[in-house]
Amino acid sequence: MADTDTGIQPKRTGLTRTQKRRLSRGAQYAVLAAAVIAFALTADWGRLQNQFAQPGIAKQLFPDLITVALKNTVLYTLSGFVVGLALGMVIALMRLSSVGPYRWLAGIYIEIFRGLPALLIFIFVGVGVPLAFPTVQYPGGTYGKVAVALGLVSAAYMAETIRAGIQAVPKGQMEAARSLGFSPARAMVSIILPQAFRIILPPLTNELVLLFKDSSLVLFLGVTLEQRELSKFGNDLASQTANSTPILVAGLCYLLITIPLSLVVRRMETKALREIR
Amino acid sequence: MTTPEIRVQGLHKSFGDNHVLRGIDLEIAQGEVVCVIGPSGSGKSTLLRCVNLLEEPTEGQVFVGGTEVTDPDVDIDAVRRRIGMVFQQFNLFPHLSVTENLTLPQRRVLRRDKAAAERVAAENLARVGLAEKAGAYPSALSGGQQQRVAIARALAMGPEVMLFDEPTSALDPELVGDVLAVMRSLAREGMTMMVVTHEMSFAREVADRVVFMDGGVIVEQGRPEQVIGAPRHERTRHFLSRILDPAMAEVEEGVADQGGTG
Ligand SMILES: Nc1ncnc2c1ncn2[C@@H]1O[C@H](COP(=O)(O)OP(=O)(O)OP(=O)(O)O)[C@@H](O)[C@H]1O
Ligand SMILES: [Mg+2]
């Protein structure tokens, strides 16, 4: 304690600050190099390539990889996002309502659905609801079912994001709108929400990235060949060919979408930071 | 005598235990310009915000143009269209251009068509001397320009009354003049105005009446030369001496602090 805050003896350890920094950086690079060398020496490269990167098998995946699997992943994700956004918006507005029961209901929904694993929600929507209400049909069949499941998964998060965005708009904006004669609802739609969405565009896009990955849970819903998305498709073909290449390729397809999205988010965030300054 | 444009009767307002307004009675005639002055926390903003019901009075009545604003059955949105309000922090809509700031309220609230709204917007931007900024966004404007746009936005709704809450307090000193000039010409055109301000020279020159508030009540009111030039109450004199000579106030506060702790 005592010697950390003196600063009277700058060369206690005998090293200058520059020397210490160099030493620390050198040690980190040495650890990294050792790890890479150890991995390269111990890995069985021939076997890895045989298991994960067989061009022949990769070729077999086309065109279904794109026309069925990737297409379905995108469809499932976007429809789930739309349902989640709409539901999340309703819940966020309920959460901010002056009517107590609305606030409580919204709060309960958020706590429950943020606390449950997405897989459980998928099973509930896919198996539980049809068992409990045999006459209920999801509009759009499997697509509707997936949209509802992903919507339920994401709505709770989106509701909290949207609420935070609305509350980040300065109070004076609502007051200015009201003093011009806007009704509360009209002020919300014309003045507050457009500003809130600008603020929450990055976190909403992050939610979209998460949904892309969660759409893989369709695996557990029992889908036809035509309804398979990337994960199920990769999994099926991996067992058919007794090779892991399809899984690697499916993984690359996810990254093809999620990495650019993440970059867009980062761009938006730095731009927003610059605007604040 | 005609009915007053603004009538405030027995107005009380509490925030929890904080009894901010303690019985305000005030009448403002058509075309009259009233400046409200008083120390920080005396309830000036609260009084102004009770006039267009941004704050709900705890007790008492407020009438604007003969309509009781405080009547629970009144269409408050309709009443507010007749009352323009200008805020200390401008509160322009940052996601809209200057013109859109003026046209959106007209279109959404007054249901004017696009052409009419744009014509009214252009007229009012010219009125505040900012016709050339029509396409700019608020963030590209100086504080003084933003405040003039905010005034134009309120005027575009065709209000009968304008409320100003310290419109120049957030401005750099060299930008205050432009905003006051706009308000002065508005007063000359016969607008009924209620202005909370610390600009004593503006009050002296433009106001028909100055109201001094302290502790949630009106302590004294009258012609500006009387209230500012020859205040009758000790509290008014004390406040004015601090406003007109801020250096003196610091000495006083220092003395008071010493008295309090020692
Ligand atoms: N929304 C609110 N909730 C709780 N208390 C409030 C609220 N608005 C104002 N007050 C309190 O009411 C009192 C008067 O505030 P008000 O803003 O009317 O004073 P003011 O005369 O305008 O002061 P200033 O010159 O600093 O603007 C203050 O004590 C303030 O803390
Ligand atoms: Mg105030």
Burial profile A122-140: b = 16 or more Cβ within 10 angstroms, e = fewer: beebbeeeeeeeeeeebee
| Across A114-119, average pLDDT | 90
Domain, as residue range, for A75: 56-276
* Total domains in the fold of chain A: 1
B240 within domain boundaries:
yes
- Contact between chains at A173 and B93 (C-beta distance less than 8 A): yes
Is residue A130 assigned to a domain? yes
Is the same domain home to B77 and B200?
Answer: yes
CATH code, domain carrying B14? 3.40.50.300
Residues B29 and B97 in one domain: no
Tell me if B102 is assigned to some domain: yes
Residues B117 and B239 in one domain: no
CB distance B147 to ligand 1 below 6 Å: no
Indicate the average pLDDT of chain B. Answer: 92
Name the nearest CA neighbour of B11 among B1, B3, B2, B21: B21
Domain final residue pick, B97, B124, B159: B159
Q: Is residue B254 part of a domain?
A: no
| Same-domain check for residues B4 and B64 | yes
What is the tens place of the pLDDT at every residue in B23-44?
999 999 999 999 999 999 999 9
Which one has a higher pLDDT value, A26 or B262? A26
pTM of the model: 0.83
Whether residues B142 and B202 fall in one domain: no
Q: Do B137 and B15 share a structural domain? A: no
Together in a domain, B57 and B108: no
End-to-end CA distance of chain A: 38
Q: What percent of chain A has pLDDT over 70?
A: 93
Indicate whether B141 belongs to any domain. Answer: yes
The answer to whether residues B77 and B91 belong to one domain is no
When CB atoms are compared, the residue of A170, A181, A195 closest to B80 is A181
B170 occurs within a structural domain: no
Taking CA atoms only, the protein residue closest to ligand 1 atom 22 is: B45
- Looking at the fold, whether B133 and B151 belong to one and the same domain comes out as yes
Number of structural domains found in chain B: 2
Cβ of B44 below 6 Å from ligand 1: yes
Determine the structural domain holding residue B241 and report its residue range.
Answer: 1-81+186-245
Is the backbone peptide bond immediately before A63 cis, with ω within 30 degrees of 0? yes
Same domain as B72, residue B29: yes
Q: Would residue A13 count as lying in a domain?
A: no
Q: pLDDT grade, residue B254 (50/70/90)?
A: very low
What's the pLDDT tens digit per position in B171-215? 999 999 999 999 999 999 999 999 999 999 999 999 999 999 999
B117 and B98 together in one domain: yes
The answer to whether residue B194 is domain-embedded is yes
Confidence check: pLDDT of B257 > 50: no
Contacts 24+ apart (CB under 8 A), B6-9: B6/B51, B6/B62, B6/B63, B6/B64, B6/B161, B6/B192, B6/B194, B7/B61, B7/B62, B7/B63, B8/B47, B8/B50, B8/B51, B8/B60, B8/B61, B8/B62, B8/B63, B9/B60, B9/B61, B9/B62, B9/B63
Residue B214 lies in a domain: yes
ipTM for the predicted complex: 0.90
Does the beta carbon of B42 sit less than 6 angstroms from any atom of ligand 1? yes
Read off the CATH number of the domain in which A86 is found. 1.10.3720.10
Q: Which residues of B touch A178 (CB under 8 A)?
A: 54, 80
Asked, for residue B43, whether it belongs to a domain, the answer is yes
The verdict on B68 and B97 lying in the same domain is no
Residue A89 domain-assigned (yes or no) = yes
